[in-house]
Each structure stands twice: as structure tokens, then as C-alpha cells.
Amino acid sequence: MDRTRIVSEDPGGWQDPPQYDPINSGPNWRARLRKLFGPVIAAVVVLAKWLFLLAKFSTIFIAVAAYALIFGWKFAIGFVTLILLHETGHYIEARREGLQPRLPIFVPFLGAYVRYTRGLPWQTVRVAIAGPILGGAAAAVCYVIGESHHSKLFLALGYVGFLLNLINLLPFWPLDGGAIWQSARWLRLGGGRRRAYYAYLFYAATALMLLLGMIATYRHQTRL
């Protein structure tokens, strides 16, 4: 910036010229509108997110209501919770693998599913088997509660939990077992023979534990 000589009581002094300050020609309508409607827009965004989550979770309530018509509300809640925990196993592992999973969606009388970005075969094996593992653990908790409290309801839930997770391990698409076997085959043919054997081992061990749990929880019942 150029220095300007200003005549004052000290003729030899140098001072900076005053800074230019433009005159505000009118009100800033954009800033005022942003200030006025900003909270409203933020509230709409939050409401949209909550409505989206409500729509996601509404399928759970629909499933509970559907199963309650046949099995009663107590068994329906436990049954849907077991399915939710099974899908949560897929969700947790898919998220750990960085596969961007979405929240579980329930389809009454057909089960539920978790959508996620498809990864490598070894990732698919781990995501697919995580559901039956967590679902089997939830069924085991029901079995322990049923035995300790002599609850036919929890024993029935444990049996159904083991059975459903075991059925999910059948080696057919679109079941978890089908995804595991297909991914293990790709690993075996693509140079990942060691991981393919690990996949078969995890598959067999999980299926055996579920079968033993189903046998342990079986009780002859006519009505809950």
C-alpha cells in the first residue's frame, strides 16, 4: 500500500490513509431469509430422517402383528426378535467389512434381509455366517432362560431359533448357506484354497452347534 504524506502538527510524519468502507446500499435479504427459514428447514430435515427410520422399523411391527395372529403376541415378539438378531449379525459384520449395510427389512412370513455392497468372496463368507452365529447365540440364551425358569415359551423360542438358523445354512441360494458355499468355491478355484477350507470349517461347526441346540431344546408341545 502506498504511503501518503499528511500535513499535521508533525509535518514530517507519515500515516496510513483511512480504509475504504463501502456503504451498504440496502438490506441483505438473502441473510434475512436464511435466518428466518433456517430453523424450519432444519426441522424438516430431522423430521424426514425420523420418518425414514420409522418406515424402516415399521416392518418389524407389521411382522409382529402378522405372526401374533397365528402364534400369539408373546411368541411373535420373541420370534421377530430372533430374526432381528440374526439380521443384526449380518449388519454388524458387513459394517465391519466396510460394505455399507442398510437396516434390516422384514417381510412377514418370509423373514428379513439386509442389503449391503457386495465384497470379496472371503468377506461374503464372514458376513453370511455372522447371521447364523448371532442368531444361534440368541437361541442359546432362550434355551438357558427356558431351562432355568421352566418356561415352555422360551424353550419353544430356542428350538425355533436353532431350527431357523440351521435352515438358513442350507447350501442353496438365496440362503446364507448358499452364499457361503458359492463364495468358498470361488476361493478354492481362485487361489484362496486355505480360506475356502476355513469357510467349510466354520460352516460345519456352526451347523453342528445349531443342530445340537435344536435337539436340546426340543419339547413335545401341543399349544403355547
Give the three cell numbers for residue 200. Answer: 467349510
Residue type, 106: F
Contact 158, 213 (CB under 8 A): yes
The rounded mean pLDDT for the chain is 80
pLDDT value of residue 1: 46
Terminal-to-terminal C-alpha distance of the chain: 90
Give the three cell numbers for residue 74. Answer: 408373546
Whole-number Cα distances in Å, 174 to 37, 89, 177, 178: 48, 17, 8, 6
Is pLDDT above 50 for 102?
Answer: yes
DSSP type of residue 10: S
Nearest CA-CA partner of 133 in 215, 207, 217, 81: 207
DSSP type of residue 5: E
Give the three cell numbers for residue 218. Answer: 426340543
pLDDT over 90, % of the chain: 51
CB under 8 Å to 57, separation ≥6 — which residues? 103
Q: What is the pTM of this model?
A: 0.70
Of 29-38, 70-79, 154-163, 184-193, the least confident: 29-38
Is pLDDT above 50 for 47?
Answer: no
pLDDT value of residue 87: 94
Average pLDDT, integer, range 10-32: 54
User: How many other C-beta atoms are found inside a 10 Å radius of the C-beta of residue 88?
Assistant: 19
Residue 164: which pLDDT band, with cuts at 50, 70 and 90? very high
Domain layout of the chain by residue ranges: 28-217
Give the three cell numbers for residue 93. Answer: 459384520
Question: What span, in angstroms and rounded, lies between the C-alpha atoms of 19 and 143?
Answer: 81
Average pLDDT, integer, range 181-185: 95
Is pLDDT above 80 for 45?
Answer: no
pLDDT value of residue 28: 64
Q: What is the pLDDT of residues 103-116, one digit of tens each?
A: 888 877 777 889 89
Backbone angles phi, psi at 27, to 5 degrees: -70, 145
